[in-house]
Structure formats: structure tokens, C-alpha cells
A = this chain, B = another copy of it.
Amino acid sequence: MTQKRVAVIGAGYTKFDEHWDKSLRDLATEAGGKALADAKMEGKEIQALFVGNMSGGRFIGQEHLAALAVDQAGLTPIPATRCEGACASGALAFRKALLSIQAGEHDIVMAAGAEKMTDIKGEAAVAALMGAGDHEWESAIGLTFSGLYALIARAHMKQFGTTREQLAMVSVNNHKNGALNPLAQHPYTVSLEDVLTSTMISDPLRLLDCSPITDGSAAVVLASEEAVKKLGIENPVWILASGQASDTLALHDRKSFTEMAATKFAAKTAYTKAGLTPEKIDVAEVHDCFSINEILAIEDLGFCKKGEGGKFVEQGKIAIGGERPINTMGGLKSIGHPVGASGIRQIIDLTTQLRGRAGKLQVNGAKVGLAQNVGGSGATAVVNILGVE
């Protein structure tokens, strides 16, 4: 069965930051408003809402977040659904929004993501984030996500000779880009030395290898091809393909620590659907929650051979102007990582590139972009490919 074509027609995110004076409902409403303004439409044209949020229950005592968002936006009685897959919640909301249009259920929908992480203490936030891991086998023995990714980093360094410096170069690249993104939480450059001498978090990962704890929200408007034509949208960004896959929740159950099988399966699905190979991707947003994860992503998405991701980064291939520009607006590392929102933020940054509106961060001639969003230590992965004509 041929699936309906669907496009992103509006996109916007809030400043990612520690928002001491704004609540999740404020942030979500702001992001939704930005997406609507970008699409040049009013809220009443939205027929359904999908919200990615990982742990509102623990961060702010609030579940039922999609109903909250649609209520705050004054858009009742349209259907509103929260999707959760840890840090991949945003991409899940995007994907379910896409499917709702392809199912013939709706024509114009909004997919949003939001997380308010700074209302509780740091230790409580770390504990809440471990809800993404395996509670009985990982959290209960004291593992944290920096610990899990440190294990992955050590295995990758041992197996492939990936260096501490190569890990640091991921953060250097992403901060270099993010320094020019006014919506980034940490919009400044960091040097190799800055990363290598920053506070040790979980050996070998240091503070500047880790994405921060962030408040923020992001939203996009999706429309069917019929709606795109009817509305006379001039710059639709088409969703060429979407893939989603799962892996074991606990890291120790994996066949390999040095690859993410879910990313590989999701990417394979997406590439096959889009009829594209990795070489055709002009710009990519990958899930750099920790520096090592960007290296895994580069390999698992097929941008280089397994084990050569560190070298790929060292050779400057991920830079704007490089062979495969990655995280061109700053990634999770520099922009920040409000966990439920990041998957939508990635789509927005791709949209900006594909529309040619990235200013000094523009990848010249970018026509096809890929976003990879990961939940936990890789138990959920979503890969979306977007393109312009």
C-alpha cells in the first residue's frame, strides 16, 4: 500500500534553558504558538495533538500532559495523546502524528515535545532519568545514564581504539555550531582542552561530554499533501520516511555494547522506504546525549564503517562544510536536552536547514536530512528522513 505524503509546514521551539520563571504549560504553549505562526495558521485548524514527554509525573507531578497542552492552547475538544519512549518521546510523538494522517484520520496535526526538568533537585532528576533504564536490573544497583554510556565508551575505545580526544571533538563541534544558535542553553564554544579537563563524571566521560538538564518545548505542524496544496504552503518539508525499532531495556542484555541495534533497524527501515542510501543524507541530527553516542550514531546510520566513527569526527567530516554535517545547530550538547522535546527539536533544526534558513550555520544545498532520536541506552530508536524538492 502506498502511504500518503505528509509534510512539515510549521516549526518552532522555545529557548532551551533553566526556566525558573516558566512552567511546562507556559513553555508548551509558547512552542505551539511559534509553530502555528511559522505555518501562518490559527490553532483552530489543528485537528489533533501528539505530545512527547518522558517523565512529567516525576519532574513536575503531572501526567496527562497532552490534555494539559491542548487545554492550555484552548484547542479542546481535539484528540490529544502523550507518547513516551524515554528520550525518544519527541520522535515517537512525531511518528504517531505522521501515522494519524496516513491513516486518513486527520489532515493537519501538531506534534510537540516538552520537558521541565529543573523543578526538582539534581539527584532527583538523575533518578527520574533512570526511569528510562531497567529499574530492576540497572537503577536498583545504582547505575546512572552517564555510567551506562561510560561503559559503552570504554568498550568502544578498547574494541576500536577510539580516543579520549575523539570523544571530546564531538563536543567541540557541537558547541561551535551551538554558539551561533540563540535558542541554545549553552551557546558558547568549548576547546579540546576545556572538554579534557572538565570535571570527571563517569570515567571516561567528563562534564563536557554530557548533555545538560534542560527545560524546553518544541512543536511542529504536519499536513497531508492535500492540505499542503489547499493551504498553498510554499516551502513544505516532506517526510520521506520514518523508522522505529526497539532493543533490550538493560544494556547488559545486548549482544554488543558498541552498536545500537535499534538505530540500525530503524535506519534500515527508513532508508528502504525512502529509497535512499546514507551517502544521500546532506545533513543529520543525531542523539548526542553523551559524546560517545554521536560516534555510535555515525557508524550505525552508515555514515562510515563500524569502529571508524572516532576517526570520522577527528577528520572534521561532521563539520558544516564537511562530508556529513551533523548537529549543525548545536545538538543536545549545546542546545540542551529537555528529554521529551529533543526529538521534535531535531526535526525543527533539520527543517530550518532544508528551507535554507540556517544563516551562518547553513549547509549549502541541503536537500535531504535525517534525524535519529534514542531512548535510554538504546532500547528505543526512531529515524526520520525529511527532504525538499
A residues contacting the other copy or chain, number (CB 8 A): 68
Contact of A77 among B61, B101, B245 (CB under 8 A): B245
Let me know if A42 is at the binding interface, CB within 8 A: no
A163 at the interface (CB under 8 A from B): no
Interface secondary structure of A, over-half rule: mixed
- A23-42: which residues lie under 8 A (CB-CB) from chain B? 23, 25
How many Å lie between the Cα of A131 and that of B53 in the bound state? 14
Most buried by B among A63, A131, A375: A63
Check A155 for interface membership: any CB of B closer than 8 A. Answer: no
Q: B99 touching A131 by the CB < 8 A rule?
A: no
Question: Separation in Å of the A263 CB from the closest CB of chain B?
Answer: 10
Give A262 to B81 CA distance when docked, in angstroms: 13
Asked if A353 lies at the interface with its beta carbon under 8 angstroms from chain B, I say: no
Q: Are B380 and A131 in contact (CB under 8 A)?
A: no
Other-chain residue from B65, B81, B86, B245 in contact with A92 (beta carbon distance below 8 A): B81
CB <8 Å contact, A63 and B102: no
A379 to B250, CA, bound (A): 35
A residues near B (Cβ < 8 Å) are 1-3, 23, 25, 54-58, 60-68, 70-71, 75-86, 92, 96, 98-105, 127-128, 130-136, 139, 244-250, 253, 261-262, 265, 375-376, 379-380
List the 5 shortest-distance A-B pairs measured between CB atoms, nearest first: A102-B103, A63-B131, A67-B379, A79-B244, A1-B104
